[in-house]
Amino acid sequence: MTSGINLAPIRLGNRVVIDWPVALAPMAGVTDAVFRGLCREHGCGYATTEFARDRALLMGIPNQLRLIDVRGDVRPVGVQIFGSDAEEMRRAAGLVIERMAPDILDINMGCPAPKVTNGQGGSSLLRDPQRAAAIVAAVTREVAPVPVTVKIRVGWDEQHKAAGAAVEIARRVIDAGAQLLTVHGRTRAQKYEGQACWDTISAVAAAVAVPVIGNGDISTPEEATHRLRTSGCRGIAIGRAARGRPWLFGQIRAHLLGRRSGAAVPGWTAGVSGRPLHHSPGHEQLSGQPPPPDPTPEERIALGLEHIRRQRAAALATVREQHPRGGRSEAALAQEADRIALAGLLPHVMWYVWGVPGVTAVRRALSQARSATQLADVLGDFAARRHVYAAADRAAGRLPVPDHGSCETAWTASADGGGGPVDRNIQETTMAENAAAETA
């Protein structure tokens, strides 16, 4: 038997309860509503939206408003926003609560992308504790009694980290009203490279009275168990390791509660129709049994096809809201939704097939899809003829890559400001500001 781990629910103000302390970390361009739903169904205990820019929300930019739409999410759910001005953040937070009524309002002080930090938002706030505290105080007053939480990093760089910046900023934002902290174990200078420093995460957890969720380098049930047992954190958050692997949350649950895949666990009820699993909380004893195995290639492909189906349905619902009945034909709406859904789907589908024999050939075919329907057609063909794709890879001398965790795509570069979702977030706001100035 391994030592006990506190798996009791995390309780915040306004009667918000996070029943299971394993969360999905927000990631720009990844953790949209469909992916959040899949992770919750597989055992994730809490999720937060991709971050939205305060000014963009106040300007009513449609793509930014869609980021905060949590009407279909399993509760509790948080909305994350970022910015650098306390007054704008206050107003944006009020807009979020009024329109979407999330359970939690989260403030991003961890994003390392230059186009965020250059505007004094994201992780740049780690170097300005006074500004950070002012933002939290203003938002807390605006949205009360909704709990305010904050995501930070362990410092701006190694020197900043070594000087105890994480503990200082943690104390300042808590004094200003934050009820929970999520701490990513890398500095801003590291971005997404190197190793997460769990010693610093643990130091923050030991220094503050509110719950701390640790984040960084957790990609297996064994790592999740180790961090919950040794870090002093009340929970953990999984980020990049969950891409294409929503089942990881179920494996972590099963491992922590000592079951093999498909076995019954006392105190648990299997989740159905998007409802999360529930358990009898407390200080649980771990069985030390190995976690359930990964899904088979067939199961992974089937999940990818289900992801496509849900993304198309979500895109169609959005298009219908934009075009009330009578404006356009149903066929035209479906065609537009099919095209819109593709952008958010492609990286996810690529991740689902990573490491499967034939992956190089199928990824090439997937990259040529011009709609979600075409994406589903390629994935369906791969399911039916995996041997053909595998033979094509062998003929070209390409071997399957077994390590799913090493899979990187353009998303990683974009998170650092390389033209992806973070850049689009900033560019949409800038374009709208310029248009407003021209008409003023």
As a whole number of angstroms, the distance between CA 264 and CA 424 comes to: 45
Strand partners, 10: 18
Q: pLDDT band for position 151 (50/70/90)?
A: very high
pLDDT tens digits, one per residue of 306-353 = 999 999 999 999 998 888 776 788 899 999 999 999 988 999 999 999
Pull the structure tokens for residue 350: 């690529």
Evaluate whether 352 touches 300 at the Cβ level (below 8 Å).
yes
**CA angle 86–87–88, rounded 5-degree value:** 95
Q: What is the DSSP letter of 405?
A: G
Fold of domain 2-286: TIM Barrel (3.20.20)
**CA angle 327–56–175, rounded 5-degree value:** 140
Q: What is the mean pLDDT of residues 2-8?
A: 75
Ordered DSSP codes for 149-204: EEEEES-SSHHHHHTTHHHHHHHHHHHTT--EEEEESS-TTTTT-S---HHHHHHH
As a whole number of angstroms, the distance between CA 33 and CA 37 comes to: 6
Structural domain spans, the chain: 2-286, 297-353+356-400
> How many CB atoms are located within 10 Å of the residue 431 CB?
11
pLDDT score, position 289: 67
pLDDT top residue among 436 and 209: 209
**Strands (DSSP E) found in 54-179:** 77-82, 104-109, 148-153
User: What is the DSSP pairing of strand 10-11 with strand 17-18?
Assistant: antiparallel
- Express the helix, strand and coil content of the chain in percent, nearest 5 each: 50, 10, 40
Sign for the pseudo-dihedral over CA of 237, 241, 247, 248:
negative
Q: pLDDT band for position 425 (50/70/90)?
A: low
pLDDT tens digits, one per residue of 69-115 = 999 999 999 999 999 999 999 999 999 999 999 999 999 999 999 98
pLDDT score, position 288: 57
Residue 41 has pLDDT above 70, yes or no: yes
As a whole number of angstroms, the distance between CA 33 and CA 47 comes to: 10
Nearest to 120 by CA among 57, 50, 188: 188
Residues of the chain above pLDDT 90, percent: 75
- What's the residue count for the chain? 440
Rounded to the nearest integer, the mean pLDDT of the chain is 86
Q: Which residues are catalytic?
A: 111
User: What is the DSSP pairing of strand 2-6 with strand 283-286?
Assistant: antiparallel
Residue 133 has pLDDT above 80, yes or no: yes
Q: Give helix then strand counts, H and E, for the chain.
A: 18, 13
As a whole number of angstroms, the distance between CA 68 and CA 95 comes to: 10
N-to-C CA span, the chain? 69
Tell me whether residue 110 is exposed, middle or buried, using C-beta atoms within 10 angstroms of its C-beta: 0 to 12, 13 to 18, 19 or more.
buried
Find the Cα–Cα–Cα–Cα dihedral 38, 218, 81, 440, rounded to 10°.
-90
Q: pLDDT band for position 267 (50/70/90)?
A: very low
Q: pLDDT band for position 3 (50/70/90)?
A: low
